Amino acid sequence: MEINDGEEEEFEFSRNYFLAKELAGSGKKSTRKISDINVVDEQELRAAAANIELKHEKEINSLVNSYKSLYPKWVFELRCGFGLLMYGFGSKKVLIEDFASTALTEYSVVVINGYLQSINLKQVVIALAEIWWEELKTKRRTSSGVSSKFQQPFNSQSMDDLLAFLHESDVEENDSFVCIVVHNIDGPGLRDSESQQYLARLASCSHIRIVASIDNVNAPLLWDKKMVHTQFNWFWYHVPTFAPYNVEGIFFPLILAHSSTAQSAKTAAIVLQSLTPNAQSVFKILAEYQLSHPDEEGMPVDALYTTARERFLVSSQVTLNSHLTEFKDHELVKTRRHSDGQDCLHIPLAADALEKLLSEINQ
C-alpha cells in the first residue's frame, strides 16, 4: 500500500502532536507564578502609554471632520423620534460631545458616562424631570400641560411616576425634548438588565431622545426586539474614529501595574479636564473650602450653591445638582451627614493630594 506525500505529511503532524503532549505531561511543572512578575507603577505605565504617538493623525482628523456633515441629519432624526447609536473602533466621546455642543444648542442635554463602575439611574431621571419641569415653566404651560400629581420635589416620587411625567404628551411642540447622551451604554455601570430596561423606558418617553455609543461587539445582546425597534428605536451609525480611549480607560486598572495613592490625584485631574469649565470651577470652590476648613465634615450644599451663584457659575439649584451628580458618578465627591443634620460635600482625598490636584487643574 503506497502512501502519497500529503498523507505522509498529515501522519507526521499527528505523531508530533501526540509526542509533544506526552513530553509535556512527563515534564516537571513550572514553579513560576504571576506574583513573580515585576510590575511597574501604574502612574509610570500610564505616562508611558500617554506618550505613544498617534499615527495617521491627519487622516483621523479628516475622517472625524467628515462626520460633521451628518449633524443636520442626526438632529432631524432625533426630532422624528429616533435614537442614535454610534458604533465603530475608537472612542466616540469627543465626537458625540461635539455634536451635542454644536448641533443641540436648542435643547437641554444630560450626559451619562456608562464607562463608570456604578451609576445611579434614579438620580439621572430626577435630573431629567427637573430640567423638563423648568422648560415647561418657561413655556408657561404648567397650568394646563402638567397634572397636579406631578409636583416637586421629584426625589420623593417613584421611577414610574417620573417616567410618566416625562412621557406626558400635552405639550404642543412635538419636537421639544431633552437629549440624553450615553457614553458606552454597554459599559459596566449600565450592563445589567434592570438598567437597560429603565433606559429603554426612558427612550420611549415622548420628550426624551437618546444618543449613545457602544464598543463591545456583544452589546446588541443586551436588548430584545421590542427594546431595539420600539423603545430605543435606534438609528445605527458606523463612525469609527480610531481615537484612544483616554478617559474611558482611566476607570479600568492596568493589568501590569499596581496602583498608588499619588495616582488618585492624577486620575481625578484627568477626569476633571473632561468636564465643563463651570463644573471645574464648582469643584475648585469645594476643594478650596475643604483645604481651609480641615476640621469640618465638609462643605454644606447650601453654602456651595450660594458661592457658585455669586461667581455666576450656576443659575439654579438644578444646574448645581447636575454638576454634583456628575462628581458623584465619577466618585470625585461624597456626601456626609453633618452633626446638625444637613448634608455636606466631601472630596475623598488627603490634603496634599488635593493641593496637587488643584495645581494640576489650574495649569
Q: What CA–CA distance (Å, rounded) separates 138 from 228?
A: 33
Residue 261 has a pLDDT of: 47
Contact 233, 81 (CB under 8 A): yes
Which domains are delineated in the chain? 57-238 (3.40.50.300), 260-362 (1.10.10)
Q: What CA–CA distance (Å, rounded) separates 83 from 213?
A: 11
Residue 72 has a pLDDT of: 95
In terms of pLDDT, which residue wins out, 33 or 99? 99
- Residue 46: count of CB within 10 angstroms of its CB: 20
Contacts made by residues 119-126, CB under 8 angstroms, sequence distance 24+: 119/189, 119/190, 119/195, 119/329, 120/325, 120/328, 120/329, 121/195, 121/198, 121/199, 122/159, 123/325, 123/328, 124/180, 124/325, 125/159, 125/162, 125/163, 125/166, 125/198, 125/202, 126/154, 126/155, 126/162
Q: What is the rounded average pLDDT of the residues 222-239? A: 92
Residue 182 has a pLDDT of: 94
Residue 351 has a pLDDT of: 83
Name beta bridge partners: 85: 212, 236
Residue 6 has a pLDDT of: 62
Percent of the residues in the chain that have a pLDDT greater than 90, as a whole number: 29
Query: Residue 60: which region, alpha, beta or left (left: phi > 0; alpha: psi -120 to 50)?
Result: alpha
Query: Per-residue pLDDT for 230 more than 80?
Result: yes
Q: How confident is the model at residue 34 (pLDDT cuts 50, 70, 90)?
A: very low
Residue 24 has a pLDDT of: 54
Residue 154 has a pLDDT of: 77
Q: How confident is the model at residue 30 (pLDDT cuts 50, 70, 90)?
A: very low
Looking at the chain, the number of H-run helices and the number of E-run strands are 15, 10
- Condensed to tens digits (0 to 9), the pLDDT of residues 49-76 reads 778 888 888 898 899 999 999 999 999 9
Q: What is the rounded average pLDDT of the residues 220-224? A: 91
Residue 147 has a pLDDT of: 46
Q: What CA–CA distance (Å, rounded) separates 275 from 282?
A: 11
- Condensed to tens digits (0 to 9), the pLDDT of residues 312-362 reads 888 888 888 888 888 887 778 888 877 777 888 988 888 888 888 888 777
Q: What is the rounded average pLDDT of the residues 214-221? A: 91
**Distance of CA 295 to CAs 283, 335, 348, Å?**
19, 16, 14
Phi, psi for residue 65 in degrees, rounded to 5:
-65, -30
Q: What is the rounded average pLDDT of the residues 24-34? A: 48
**Mean pLDDT across the chain:** 81
Q: How confident is the model at residue 42 (pLDDT cuts 50, 70, 90)?
A: low
Percent of the residues in the chain that have a pLDDT greater than 70, as a whole number: 79
- Condensed to tens digits (0 to 9), the pLDDT of residues 115-174 reads 887 788 888 888 888 888 888 777 655 445 444 455 567 777 888 888 888 887 555 555
- Condensed to tens digits (0 to 9), the pLDDT of residues 243-289 reads 888 888 777 655 444 444 455 666 677 778 778 888 889 999 999 99
The residue written with cell numbers 451627614 in the block is 337
Q: What is the rounded average pLDDT of the residues 101-120? A: 88
Q: What CA–CA distance (Å, rounded) separates 200 from 203?
A: 5
The residue written with cell numbers 484612544 in the block is 244
